[in-house]
Amino acid sequence: MLGIGKNVVWVALDGEQQARIAALKRTRGKREMPVSGDRVEARVLEDGSALIERILPREAVLERRIAHGRSKIMAANVDTLVTVTSLADPPPRLTTLDQLLAYAELEEIYAIVIFTKPDRAAPSLRRELAALYESLGYDTLVVNPKTGQNMDALRAKLGGRHAMLAGVSGVGKSSIFRALGGEAVVGELSSAGLGKQTTSTARLYRLPAGFLIDSPGVAEFGLGQVSPAELIQTFRELREYASACRFNDCSHLNEPACAVKAAVAAGSIAPTRYESYRRILEMCYTPPRA
């Protein structure tokens, strides 16, 4: 499923990669709305469009975490988050990358780290960032969709996966999507059911044994309210040191005898990763009132 409008969606039927417009079957009472990644039962109509009869049970959902414990379903049946970060134009936004990885850890889904625009960045920066995230255990690739650099490797990593691309505007998500076979013109639907090119809604491309969704933007991947104890567990290398802090409720910001800060000072934790932890915590945590 992809590109949801008011009463219609785009649907990729079995054996087809090109999407069709599909109407939602009218039902009495409250109707469940499909999301990108949903599997459905549908039949083709005489005019070539389709009618969705039923949304099949979801194996998993990706939720946008909202304040006060609320959430909104963004996509269904996704098992992989592909983070996309440009090395230049715009410069790498590592806090955004680390927030996406933290989101993947919270959702307990696989994460792949992609860096784009290597031709516009210093070789030392490419090597440094790729080495950092590889050392954390993340599958990491530097790709260039325009030249084809490492696109076959990315295609192989996505084989059989139900994946979603995520990153800020301008990093090359749509270029990757098109290079892998997706169509940029498939997007939001108007009230008349006509497709128009946009990045305001998710788009899906059906792979031979899975699918790839181009997400609308990183704002959808907010962490909501998380405590220091919850957030530290999403930073793989930071959590290794957290248990050695003097205080069990250490926030790893200002407390004395903090093993995490000591590891940063000793060079065992990359300063950029600790800075991401600090900034994300400031955005997502409200300390209890004294």
Q: How confident is the model at residue 192 (pLDDT cuts 50, 70, 90)?
A: very low
CB neighbours of 136 closer than 8 A, spacing ≥ 6? 236, 237
Q: What is the pLDDT of residue 141?
A: 98
228-284 has which fold? Ribonucleotide Reductase Protein R1; domain 1 (1.10.40)
Collapse the DSSP code of 48 into the 3-class scheme (helix H, G, I; strand E, B; otherwise coil) and give the result.
coil
Q: pLDDT band at residue 6, thresholds of 50, 70 and 90?
A: low
Bridge pairing between strands 40-44 and 8-11: unpaired
Residues 29/34/40/41 CA torsion (nearest 10 deg): 30
| Residue 76: band (very low, low, confident or very high) from pLDDT cuts 50, 70, 90 | very high
Residue 3 has pLDDT above 80, yes or no: no
pLDDT in tens, 145-178: 999 999 999 999 999 999 999 999 899 999 999 9
Using pLDDT thresholds of 50, 70 and 90, give the confidence band for residue 57: very high
CA 267 from centroid of its chain's CA atoms:
29
Task: Report the C-alpha gap between 37 and 13 in whole angstroms.
Answer: 12
Q: Are 14 and 211 in contact (CB under 8 A)?
A: no
Domain regions of the chain by residue span: 8-55, 61-221, 228-284
Per residue in 241-267, pLDDT (tens digit) is: 999 999 999 999 999 999 999 999 999
Angle, CA of 76, 142 and 95, to the nearest 5°: 65
Residues 51, 203: Cα–Cα separation, whole Å: 19
Who contacts 113 (Cβ-Cβ below 8 Å, separation ≥6)?
Answer: 83, 85, 97, 101, 133, 138, 139, 140, 141
Kindly give, in sequence order, each residue whose CB lies less than 8 Å from that of residue 277, ignoring residues fewer than 6 positions away. Answer: 98, 231, 232, 235, 238, 252
Q: What is the pLDDT of residue 11?
A: 85
Provide the strand spans (E) within the chain. Answer: 8-11, 20-24, 40-44, 50-55, 61-65, 71-76, 80-86, 110-116, 139-142, 162-166, 203-207, 210-214
- Checking if the pLDDT of 111 tops 90, the result is yes
pLDDT of amino acid 115: 98
Residue 203 has pLDDT above 90, yes or no: no
Q: Is 243 helix (H, G, I), strand (E, B) or coil?
A: coil
Residue 290 has pLDDT above 80, yes or no: no
Asked whether residue 12 carries a pLDDT value surpassing 90, the answer given is no
Q: Which residues contact 15 (CB under 8 A, 6 or more apart)?
A: none
The rounded distance, in Å, linking the Cα atoms of 1 and 74 is 12
Please check the confidence at residue 190 and state whether its pLDDT lies above 80.
no
CATH class given for the domain over 61-221: alpha beta
Tell me which residue has tokens 């946009």: 198
**pLDDT for 126-146, tens place per residue?**
999 999 999 999 999 999 999
Q: CB neighbours (10 Å) of residue 76?
A: 21
Q: Do domains 61-221 and 228-284 have the same CATH topology?
A: no
Helix (H, G, I), strand (E, B) or coil at 123: helix
User: What is residue 29's predicted lDDT score, i.e. its pLDDT?
Assistant: 63
Rounded mean pLDDT of the chain?
86
